[in-house]
């Protein structure tokens, strides 16, 4: 090998090295972007999980609020029936006492 062949091979190697440096830089950028994307996906998953928990809590509170009117209606009906029965029993007792 003479000096010109060595110089040509060195030039080819330098060109290849520069090309590889650019490719490594591109890969580093892509790796950074993928890492940022993974972090963002993780944050989104945590956020969605928190929203799901809050949605479940709101569902439970909604069920409680939906039960209140029906329970109130039951209490009112019970009070009315009790008042009517008490009135009828009171009238019957009054009638029995006035007859004797």
CA angle 78, 80, 81 (to 5 degrees): 65
pTM across the whole model: 0.54
Q: Which residue has the tokens 């009117």?
A: 69
Confidence check: pLDDT of 96 > 70:
yes
Q: Quick one: how many helices (H) and strands (E) in the chain? A: 1, 0
Instruction: Kindly tell me if the per-residue pLDDT of 44 is higher than 70.
Output: yes
pLDDT of 100 strictly over 70: no
């Amino acid at each position: 090998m003479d000096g010109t062949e060595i110089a040509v091979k060195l030039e080819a190697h330098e060109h290849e090295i520069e090309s590889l440096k650019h490719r490594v830089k591109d890969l580093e950028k892509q790796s950074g972007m993928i890492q940022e994307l993974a972090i963002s996906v993780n944050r989104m998953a945590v956020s969605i999980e928190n929203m799901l928990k809050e949605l479940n809590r709101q569902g439970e509170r909604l069920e409680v609020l939906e039960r209140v009117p029906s329970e109130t209606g039951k209490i009112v009906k019970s009070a009315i029936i009790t008042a009517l029965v008490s009135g009828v029993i009171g009238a019957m007792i009054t009638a029995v006492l006035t007859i004797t």
